Amino acid sequence: GAVVSQHPSRVICKSGTSVKIECRSLDFQATTMFWYRQFPKQSLMLMATSNEGSKATYEQGVEKDKFLINHASLTLSTLTVTSAHPEDSSFYICSARTQGAGNSPLHFGNGTRLTVT
Amino acid sequence: DAKTTQPNSMESNEEEPVHLPCNHSTISGTDYIHWYRQLPSQGPEYVIHGLTSNVNNRMASLAIAEDRKSSTLILHRATLRDAAVYYCILRNNSGNTPLVFGKGTRLSVIA
């Protein structure tokens, strides 16, 4: 089945530094990938839609200059958390869909747990 | 997106069937009913989806009411590994739209 790989699975960084999270579709091409954030005991919240070869679309309230998204190829999207602060500590999850009908399932990475100290 | 309503939590004994309900009274004719689950510290995992007819796969069954205003995810024999948060999500068949997650149902399985 379709596999989405996310790296790293866990990262600890100091306040003020930047962290890059990679999301790869291993056995399929994804023109669109989605980035979510999940705080403890809460549901997933959509942050942005990443489109290959064009600018990402951000949800209301998500700062595009803080959460930089690059989708340079059909199998790779990256999310960079710039100038991280402790309140950015969260579980970040990417997802992608195989091509085909709009009702085909989304495949999710296993998430990246970011801790900012 | 049309909203869904699920119980916050449910409990099941191991080896017994589990019926997870979902209400979606404002579903439109082109909305598919998707179910995903999220195990602790992992990304969500696709379980099953359907439009009008009941669906079966190796993980679960999906029973859809005739008026499509509700559905039930059926795990035929719960195991400890089925303990997760189960999300019922409506998704329009209109292209590259993301999934919008509600709070889901936290399923606990008791040995």
pLDDT at residue B95, as a whole number:
62
Does the beta-carbon distance from A102 to B41 stay under 8 Å? no
Q: What parts of chain B have a pLDDT lower than 50?
A: none
Does the beta-carbon distance from B44 to A44 stay under 8 Å? yes
To the nearest whole number, what is the mean pLDDT of chain A? 93
pLDDT at residue A97, as a whole number:
81
Whether chain A has a CB inside 8 Å of the CB on B55: the answer is: no
Cα–Cα dist A84/B79, whole Å:
40
Does the beta-carbon distance from B45 to A102 stay under 8 Å? no
pLDDT at residue A100, as a whole number:
65
Q: Looking at the complex, report in whole angstroms how far the Cα of residue A70 sits from the nearest Cα belonging to chain B.
A: 18
Question: Contact, B10 vs B75, CB < 8 A?
Answer: no
Does the beta-carbon distance from A103 to B49 stay under 8 Å? yes
Name chain A contacts of B103, Cβ cutoff 8 Å.
43
C-alpha closest to that of B107 among B9, B7, B3: B9
Residues A76-95: tens digit of each pLDDT: 999 999 999 999 999 999 99
Mutation choice for A interface testing from B35, B87, B99 by most A CBs within 10 A? B99
State the Cα torsion A114-B101-B46-A12 to the nearest 10°: 0
pLDDT at residue A43, as a whole number:
95
Q: Residue with structure tokens 């998204």? A: A69
Whether chain A has a CB inside 8 Å of the CB on B56: the answer is: no
Q: What parts of chain A have a pLDDT lower than 50?
A: none
Q: Looking at the complex, report in whole angstroms how far the Cα of residue B41 sits from the nearest Cα belonging to chain A.
A: 8
